[in-house]
Amino acid sequence: MDIISTVFLALVQGITEFLPISSSAHLILGRWLLGLLGVASTTMTPAEELALDIALHVGSLGAVIVYFRRDVVMLFMGLIDGITGRMGPRFRTLLVVIAASLPIVLVAFLAKDLVTEAGRNITIIAWTTMVFGVLLWLADRRPEQKGTLETLSLRDAMVVGLAQCIAIIPGVSRSGICMTAGRFVGMDRPLSARLAMLLSIPTILGAGVLAGYDLYRAGNAQVTSDALFGGVLAFFAALASIALLMKWLQRQSYTPFVIYRVVLGLLLLGLIYAGIA
């Protein structure tokens, strides 16, 4: 993959990973746009392209760990508490994150072929972008009742965790569906975003293991160097994106993202029915 494509896709990944607009869909659309413009020139297989996609996700993982470093330390201390038998609030919060993470681990493993093949369809992306955007808008009408991780129950965690499984379909948005489910169970906007980003840590780590295996099996050093370079760019783009989103949600709603999703979905459908996409 040429340097222009790598930079473009890394920035797309970093900016969209933690926004409720689906980074996987934007990576797919980004590649389609590059091909349409005659910029992209790659002979990568779909499996290798997915490996690069996940490698870019791993780059953005560093950003969420840096931004939420206090939460990460708290969860680690919760693990220590559990090992030493001190079942306090830190350990309970860790259980909430674990409970919310388990469903996607199983579903993502069983549905890997769907992600690599059937899910990469612009028509599917168009409809999921709109439908789950409207669902986010409906959820965002709910009252804000819970504002800290300590107020969440295991039931809340399972609702968010099961909802996250739907995000294996491009266009749904992993962070978006977590935020949607969080708002449905009464979380305030900052907490729904915070939990969605914390859940990205085990999810991306698991995906990174698969990506590493795919990159090793591909045996292509250029793919590895592209992933490393793209990961650095994705890190800085994601860090800025997270900071701006969390600041926005302190006072504003998810409505701009809903509008963006609906407009993008309609645009894609227009291109599809015009025979362009």
As a whole number of angstroms, the distance between CA 167 and CA 169 comes to 5
The pLDDT of residue 218 is 62
Q: List the single range of 17-21, 22-26, 95-99, 227-231 with lowest mean pLDDT.
A: 227-231
| Axis-axis angle for helices 46-67, 69-83 (nearest 10) | 90
The predicted-structure confidence for 28-73, as pLDDT tens digits, reads as follows: 888 888 888 777 655 566 656 666 777 787 889 999 999 999 999 9
Q: Are 163 and 141 in contact (CB under 8 A)?
A: no
The C-alpha torsion from 230 through 268 and 266 to 163, rounded to 10°, is -50
How many secondary structure helices (H) and strands (E) does the chain include?
12, 0
pTM: 0.89
The pLDDT of residue 228 is 79
216 pLDDT higher than 80: no
As a whole number of angstroms, the distance between CA 156 and CA 94 comes to 13
Closest CA to 188 of 229, 154, 221, 140: 140
Q: Which residue blocks in 21-88 are alpha helix, DSSP H?
A: 23-37, 46-67, 69-83
119 pLDDT higher than 60: no
